[in-house]
Amino acid sequence: MAQKIMVIGGGPGGYVAALRAASLGADVTVIEKENLGGTCLNWGCIPSKIMKNTADILYKCQRAKDFGIHVDGPVLPDMAALMTRKEKILESQRAGIAGLLKNRGVRVENGTGRVTGNGSVQVTAGDGSTKSLIWDKLIIATGTTPMNVADFAFDGKKILSSNDILMLGHIPESLTIVGGGVIGCEFACIFAALGTKVTVVEALSRPLPLPSVDTSISKLLLREMKKQKITVLCDTVVTACDTSGKGCTITLAKSPFTDNPKAKEPKTDTLSSDLMAVCIGRIPLSSNLGLETIGLDTPVPGWIPVNDRMETAVEHVYAIGDILGPARVMLAHVASHEGLVAAANAMGQDETMVYDAVPGAIFTMPEIGTVGVSEEEALQKGLDIDTASVNFRVLGKAHAIDEIAGEAKMIVEKNTGRVLGVHIIGPHATDLIAEATLAIAKGLTVKDIAHTIHAHPTLAEIMGEVSSKAVGMPVHA
């Protein structure tokens, strides 16, 4: 009899795990309470990139004369049309996932799943009806939801979550974004390009204050955001938001969390904005899963610990994706790979998850791609390194498309020449990081890349330029 594998959550981790398990001969059921594709497809990666694509096109249209194009009349965004396009694409993508699951023989149960004991789960449908199902192996892939703050809780009208932003039917005149992380900075660039006056409030000393993002990248992004007329207030927190008037009156204070010993008090203790979006993190969706019925403990605030085989502390129970929390890597493509590993192990194979070469893709304007260690991380680990940086303006292709802002930075182990990290900010950086990811995954040296021919004229030449500089043979840099 085939192994019965139950997957709770149909996001990029859950549905990929289901497909892998079905391919290995399992009898697979996926429980999904909303839409297939999870946060990434419905509330994150894809809808925000649809909006960014429109912002990119609008920005270029407004500069059409620089490209030798005459536009008769103003070029204006149409938010209603954008939302219609977004929903059409999302529906197509959801149908695609449903088709994949159907073709592999995977059943999809629409409803909320709750574990009721070892080998059993109850599904509650939207109409309140329930169904009991059995499983031999369980894969938990329930993900996260935006973190709410009691002092300025989401109301969906003036105080918005990252989900709410993606449903806006109009372009606000002004928008304050609380949190200068990945989500906050992406939305800041999108709405600034659409014509909104944007302010970003960040508690730490730089935008994108992530260990995986090199400080030099944050500095360059900050410079470009200022060019886009985005106001960035670092070392600052929001303490309150009054929505009783027409818009939002936001109270500011010096951040108690900042890593800047020279942080100053904000120049103003209040600011006004039509809307305020809160993008300061996410919390796990594990509290109502019934995990206590199988003895699976989750530390506060509810993340699920696993080993590198994606096994929890309970036999035959696996967990993948953002529900694992910041102890792992909370990215959609990581969740998918974790899903492959969990499914394989649930089916008796022996696979482990390795996080040494995970690319990060940040869709700001310009884009950012990162992989491996930053310079700061390398020094903290006591590694003996060299670094090299090259500006995009050395590339003919960058001038041809008029996107010369940005740089590539490479971190190299001194004694071996092995590439330890690459950080790119510039046009199509999220695509360009793939070469660096392969280099790090396969332990390639900087000479290996420097002696690889890169097609001209392309943006991919940036990897050839920075590696050539790193080995002491700069061409254009």
Is 132 found in the same domain as 17?
Answer: yes
Which of 346, 369, 388 is a domain's end point?
Answer: 346
CA distance 236 to 259: 11
Grade residue 1 by pLDDT with cuts at 50, 70 and 90: low
**CATH number, domain at 414?**
3.30.390.30
CA distance 330 to 427: 24
CA distance 280 to 286: 19
pLDDT at 351: 98
Of 137-141, 298-302, 310-314, 397-401, the least confident:
298-302
pLDDT digits (tens, 9 = 90+) for 422-449: 999 999 999 999 999 999 999 999 999 9
Burial class (CB in 10 A: 0-12, 13-18, 19+), 385: middle
Is 156 found in the same domain as 124?
Answer: no
pLDDT digits (tens, 9 = 90+) for 175-195: 999 999 999 999 999 999 999
Query: Would you say residue 351 lies in a domain?
Result: no
Grade residue 111 by pLDDT with cuts at 50, 70 and 90: very high
Which of 228, 254, 280 is a domain's end point?
Answer: 280
Grade residue 264 by pLDDT with cuts at 50, 70 and 90: very high
Q: Please, what is the end-to-end C-alpha distance for the chain in angstroms?
A: 63
Query: Would you say residue 353 lies in a domain?
Result: no
What is the pTM for the complete model shown? 0.96
Grade residue 174 by pLDDT with cuts at 50, 70 and 90: very high
Is 303 found in the same domain as 215?
Answer: no
pLDDT at 477: 81
248-273: average pLDDT: 96
Identify each DSSP E strand in 136-260 by its residue range. Answer: 137-140, 144-146, 159-160, 174-178, 197-201, 231-233, 236-242, 248-254
DSSP-derived letter for residue 147 is P
Whether the predicted pLDDT of 134 surpasses 90: yes
Query: Would you say residue 425 lies in a domain?
Result: yes
Query: Would you say residue 19 lies in a domain?
Result: yes
Whether the predicted pLDDT of 2 surpasses 90: no
Which residue shows structure tokens 């990248």? 217
Q: Which of 170, 399, 451, 456 is catalytic?
A: 456
Whether the predicted pLDDT of 459 surpasses 70: yes
**CATH number, domain at 70?**
3.50.50.60
pLDDT at 6: 98
Query: Would you say residue 262 lies in a domain?
Result: yes
Whether the predicted pLDDT of 76 surpasses 90: yes
Is 20 found in the same domain as 136?
Answer: yes
Is 82 found in the same domain as 31?
Answer: yes
Is 328 found in the same domain as 199?
Answer: no
Whether the predicted pLDDT of 57 surpasses 80: yes
Is 246 found in the same domain as 177?
Answer: yes
Query: Would you say residue 355 lies in a domain?
Result: no
Of 91, 7, 16, 95, the residue nearest 47 (C-alpha): 91
- 207 upstream amide cis, omega within 30 of 0: no
365-375: average pLDDT: 98
Q: Is 337 tagged catalytic?
A: no
Whether the predicted pLDDT of 305 surpasses 80: yes
Is 432 found in the same domain as 390?
Answer: yes
Q: How many domains does the chain have?
A: 3
- Supply the range of the domain harboring residue 94: 4-145+283-346
- Can you say how many angstroms the Cα of residue 265 is from the centroid of all Cα atoms in its chain? 31
pLDDT at 123: 98
pLDDT at 20: 98
Which residue shows structure tokens 């021919």? 453
Is 299 found in the same domain as 219?
Answer: no
127-152: average pLDDT: 96
Is 253 found in the same domain as 294?
Answer: no
Share of the chain above pLDDT 90, in %: 99
pLDDT at 89: 98
Is 127 found in the same domain as 35?
Answer: yes
Query: Would you say residue 397 lies in a domain?
Result: yes
Which of 280, 310, 334 is a domain's end point?
Answer: 280
pLDDT at 105: 98
Is 266 found in the same domain as 165?
Answer: yes
**Average pLDDT of the chain, as a whole number:** 97
Query: Would you say residue 413 lies in a domain?
Result: yes
CA distances from 125 to 97, 118, 142, 195 (A): 20, 21, 16, 42
